[in-house]
Amino acid sequence: MNTATIATPVLSPPIAAEGWRGLIADWSSDRRAFHVSWGKAMMWIFLLSDTFIFSCFLTGYMTVRVSTTAAWPNPSEVFALHVGGANVPLLLIAIMTFVLISSSGTMAMAVNFAYRRDKVNAATLMLVTATFGELFVGMQAFEWSKLIMEGVRPWGNPMGAAQFGSTFFMITGFHGLHVTGGVILLFIVAFKLMRGDYDRTGNYQIVEITGLYWHFVDLVWVFIFAFFYLW
């Protein structure tokens, strides 16, 4: 008896799309392979690149401070506040640090409420976080104004080593720029959250992505606080 032979169809390899469609298809396949959204992946890549920049800044600051022959200003004296007839060392810096660290807590709660699909509480906590950020930037502006009035400049410093002014304004200014950008992002996402822009997809992951950026900014400040104000 002859058995019928069933021919197995030969599948031709998929033809790769060209142009923008091919690019989108490639990115989509990577997203499925790594099980992570492109928004979160791109934020991690951005934070990694920013880590290199801040690391270079802090390394350069430490190199300059160790190698300079002039006396480096004492942070406890430079950043002291005159309160009640006495100079309180690092009072403003301590308040700034407390405010920024507290904002990490409110941001974490906002992410928690976002994953519960509670957009009202999530948006409210994001606005609270943005308010903390505004308060931090305002205190930093006061700190800058105080030092400028005392004669500190990027090219000179009457309190000691001339490099103090350039490193201080560069590092704290770059970080303050990040905080300002984060505040703007928080306001935008909170507004879009309340308006219901993310209700159609039911995906509130943008809150977590914003939280990643904000926690990074807070973490960087911890290193700036340790290396610049305590050393």
Q: Are 227 and 61 in contact (CB under 8 A)?
A: yes
DSSP symbol at 8: P
Q: How many CB atoms lie within 10 A of CB 165?
A: 22
Residues across the chain: 231
Domains of the chain, each with CATH number or no CATH? 38-229 (1.20.120.80)
Residue 24 confidence class, pLDDT cut points 50, 70, 90:
low
Question: Structure tokens of 31?
Answer: 């997203």
User: Which residues share a beta bridge with 86?
Assistant: 83
Whole-number average pLDDT of the chain:
85
d(CA 181, CA 214): 10
Burial state string for 9-31 with b = 16 or more CB within 10 A and e = fewer than 16 = eeeeeeeeeeeeeeeeeeeeeee
**What pLDDT, in 10s, does the model give residues 134-156?**
999 999 999 999 999 988 888 88
- The two structure tokens encoding residue 33: 């392979």
Q: Report the Cα 209 to chain-centroid distance in Å.
A: 11
Q: How far is CA 26 from CA 31, 46, 201, 211, in A?
A: 9, 20, 23, 28
Is residue 93 predicted with pLDDT exceeding 60? Answer: yes
Measured at the alpha carbon of residue 206, what is the angle toward residues 218 and 22, in degrees to the nearest 5?
120
pLDDT in tens, 194-225: 888 888 776 788 999 999 999 999 999 999 99
Does the model's pTM come out above 0.95? no
Most confidently predicted of 13-17, 70-74, 94-98, 200-204? 94-98
Q: Using CA atoms, how far apart are residues 113 and 117, in angstroms rounded to an integer?
A: 6
Q: Are 178 and 142 in contact (CB under 8 A)?
A: no
Report in angstroms the alpha-carbon separations of 163 from 65, 73, 147, 155, 214. Answer: 8, 10, 14, 7, 29
Contact 125, 109 (CB under 8 A): yes
Judged against a pLDDT cut of 70, whether residue 8 lies above it is answered with no
Query: Do 130 and 186 meet the contact criterion of CB atoms below 8 Å apart?
Result: yes
pLDDT at site 201: 72
Residues 61 and 67: their CA atoms lie apart, in Å, by 10
Structure tokens at 169: 């304004």
CA 194 to mean position of chain CA atoms: 23
- Residue 9 banded pLDDT, cuts 50, 70, 90: very low
pLDDT at 94 over 60: yes
The pLDDT of residue 135: 97
